[in-house]
Each structure stands twice: as structure tokens, then as C-alpha cells.
């Protein structure tokens, strides 16, 4: 395990509006606030989005298994904001539920807020972390 010790910086409370894409909004927010390392928590609703529920098998590079949210769902999520080059990269895992049906996965494409989505965003300072392309997995992964 590789690690660095950091400190808590600024803390933000945000509200996403109906129809917004939280991945895009978080990306633009990180640019505006010059937020290079952060953790965030989400609670609210989504009515769309594509997410990955794991790889097909244990080979590298992984072949993702995709699922889609259609219609309104509750969400509880946790994620990180860490930059890759000149762009913030959002890594969000969530639990998505409607009625008695619950799924979990890594949100990757086109999430759309249903009614409201709340976020607490906590900056982590005094660390030097980035995301870089991992040759084995062909994924952009955390570098500590």
C-alpha cells in the first residue's frame, strides 16, 4: 500500500438541480475552485445514467459490465476528485434503488438528476496525488 498524509481543506455544500449532470457539474466545480484532491458524498435522486457493475472476468484490461438507470431512482454515493493532467477526474460509486430493486456500481456516463441531488465536498490538502494511465488495465488510476 502506498499512502500520503494530508489535511482537510475547504468544505462545500452543493445542490444539483433537476436535469443536471452531476459528473459534469463536479468537473466544472473542481476547475472553478481549483480543487485538486477531494472526497464527496451524494444523496438524492437520479433519473438516468450508465454505470459499471464489474468486469466480465479477472483478465486485464477489464471488460466492463454496463447497467443503466431509467426512471427515477434514489442514490447514495461516494467519490473522489483527483486530476489527470489538466482535467479533474471524477470517480463515483453509488447505490441506486427504486422500490425493492437496488443496484450498485461505478457511474460513468450521463447521470441526470431527478428533482434534487445534494453533495458534501471536502478538499484534501498537502498531498501530491494524480491519476495516470495504467498500462496493464488501460484505465486512468490513482497514483500516490
What is the domain-level CATH number for residue 17? Answer: 3.30.1330.80
Domain that holds residue 100: 12-143
Residue 2 forms part of a structural domain? no
User: Distance between alpha carbon 22 and the CA centroid of its chain, in Å?
Assistant: 9
CA distance 88 to 81: 6
In this prediction, residue 74 carries a pLDDT of 98
Residue 47 forms part of a structural domain? yes
pTM: 0.95
Residue 3 forms part of a structural domain? no
The DSSP letter of residue 60 is S
Residue 6 forms part of a structural domain? no
Q: Name, in order, each residue with C-beta under 8 angstroms of 123's C-beta and a sequence gap of 6 or more.
A: 8, 9, 10, 11, 12, 35, 37, 38
Residue 82 forms part of a structural domain? yes
Contact 11, 132 (CB under 8 A): no
Residue 35 forms part of a structural domain? yes
For residue 62, name the pLDDT band (cuts at 50, 70, 90). Answer: very high
Q: What is the mean predicted confidence (pLDDT) over 42-55?
A: 98
Amino acid at each position: 500500500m502506498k499512502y500520503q498524509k494530508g489535511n482537510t481543506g475547504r468544505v462545500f455544500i452543493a445542490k444539483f438541480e433537476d436535469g443536471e449532470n452531476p459528473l459534469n457539474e463536479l468537473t466544472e466545480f473542481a476547475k472553478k475552485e481549483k480543487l485538486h484532491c477531494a472526497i464527496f458524498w451524494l444523496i438524492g435522486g437520479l433519473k438516468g445514467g450508465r454505470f459499471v457493475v464489474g468486469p466480465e472476468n479477472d483478465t486485464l484490461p477489464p471488460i466492463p459490465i454496463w447497467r443503466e438507470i431509467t426512471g427515477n431512482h434514489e442514490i447514495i454515493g461516494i467519490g473522489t476528485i483527483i486530476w489527470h493532467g489538466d482535467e479533474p477526474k471524477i470517480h463515483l460509486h453509488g447505490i441506486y434503488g427504486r422500490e425493492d430493486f437496488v443496484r450498485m456500481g461505478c457511474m460513468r456516463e450521463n447521470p441526470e438528476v431527478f428533482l434534487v441531488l445534494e453533495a458534501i465536498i471536502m478538499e484534501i490538502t498537502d498531498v501530491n496525488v494524480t491519476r495516470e494511465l495504467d498500462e496493464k488495465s488501460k484505465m486512468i488510476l490513482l497514483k500516490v
